[in-house]
Chains A and B, each alone.
Chain A
Amino acid sequence: MEQVPLSHVLILSSCLFFLGIYGFFSRRNMITMLMSIELILNSININFIAFNKYLYPHQLEGVFFTLFIITVAAAEVSLAIAIIINLYRKFNTIDVEDTNTMKF
């Protein structure tokens, strides 16, 4: 593992990050957008772990941040899903294009 340079790990994560970004923009379905967000969060987690491992091995901060991000992600997804279900009841769709009442 030590032969893998840090930058490669980071590039992996940033590829994942921008995949998430692309997915977030290109999808109209809220659930798939949520999945894109999960990808983004995971890419961040990889970063934290990688930094912890490569640059600051004497600490555990990266681990903790990952831990908290995962926790928050769990909370976020549960709320997001609740909202999506509620929207589905109201609009009978979960397409973001159709749920645009918050404008002007």
Chain B
Amino acid sequence: MSASAVMFYILGALVLTFGVLTVFTRKIFRAAVYLLLSLIGIAAIYIIMDMQFIAALQIVIYVGGIVVLIIFSIFLTHQAGERLPSRLPKHLLWSILLSGVGLLLATHILYHFSYKPSIEPAIEHSVKNIGTQLIDFRSYGYVFPFEVVSILLLAAMVGSIIIAMKTKKN
């Protein structure tokens, strides 16, 4: 077992641990922090998988953007140290049941599925390759989705401003 494999298992355990903590903790701020850590763990896994660009995005957008945004919104809507109310047992039962069954099912399939890797020569997942294909407008080029997503971002930005804006009361 190579070092990277060991690293992977350690990181995986960490990600899961923080994920569990995120989901189970009764303090919302802590949940956000555990989420942060979990996301960082995932970024590390990307690095192990030679996906530095994605790892960077993960750090920049998730950790630097989204989680911070969440933390801000927690500040806006919560008193510090407030404990979250617990769920009704009925709901808990259902959620445990469903996610448990789902997990078992997924695991079962994943174990018994035979994966067939392609045999073509690999290409490097470098920023250069990614960037070239991303803004390429020939076949397999992603320039059109790229533009669409940029418009989507713009729209989301405008939309969230409008939604969150204080409306004048009549």
Please indicate the chain A residues that have their CB under 8 angstroms from the CB of B145 in the complex: 64, 68
Taken together as a complex, chains A and B put the C-alpha atoms of A48 and B29 apart, in Å, by 30
A104 at interface, CB cutoff 8 A: no
Cross-chain contact B122 with A58 (CB below 8 angstroms): yes
In contact, B73 and A70 (Cβ under 8 angstroms): no
Q: Which B residues touch A68, using CB under 8 A?
A: 145, 149
A75 lies within 8 A of chain B by Cβ? yes
Contact A11 B107 (CB under 8 A): yes
Complex CA gap A28/B111 in Å reads 34
Interface size on A, residues (CB 8 A): 72
Tell me if A89 counts as interface (CB < 8 A to partner B): yes
- Verify A4–B39 contact, CB threshold 8 A: no
Q: How many residues of B contact A (CB 8 A)?
A: 86
With a cutoff of 8 Å between Cβ atoms, the chain B residues found around residue A66 in the complex are: 54, 57
Are A53 and B50 in contact, CB atoms less than 8 angstroms apart? yes
A78's contact among B4, B19, B92, B157, by CB below 8 Å, is which? B157
What's the minimum C-beta distance from B91 to chain A, rounded to whole angstroms?
7
Contacting pair A74 B65 (CB below 8 A): yes
Contact B16 A26, beta carbon cutoff 8 Å: no
Known contacts A12-B16, A82-B161; A89 and B69 CB within 8 A of each other: no
Bitwise interface map of B from 95 to 122 toward A, beta carbon under 8 Å scored 1, else 0: 1101110110011001101011110111
28 A-B contacts (beta carbon < 8 Å): A1-B5, A2-B2, A14-B107, A18-B106, A19-B23, A20-B19, A21-B99, A21-B102, A22-B23, A25-B95, A38-B39, A38-B62, A50-B49, A56-B117, A57-B122, A58-B122, A63-B130, A64-B134, A64-B145, A67-B57, A71-B149, A72-B152, A73-B66, A77-B70, A79-B159, A81-B70, A81-B73, A81-B164
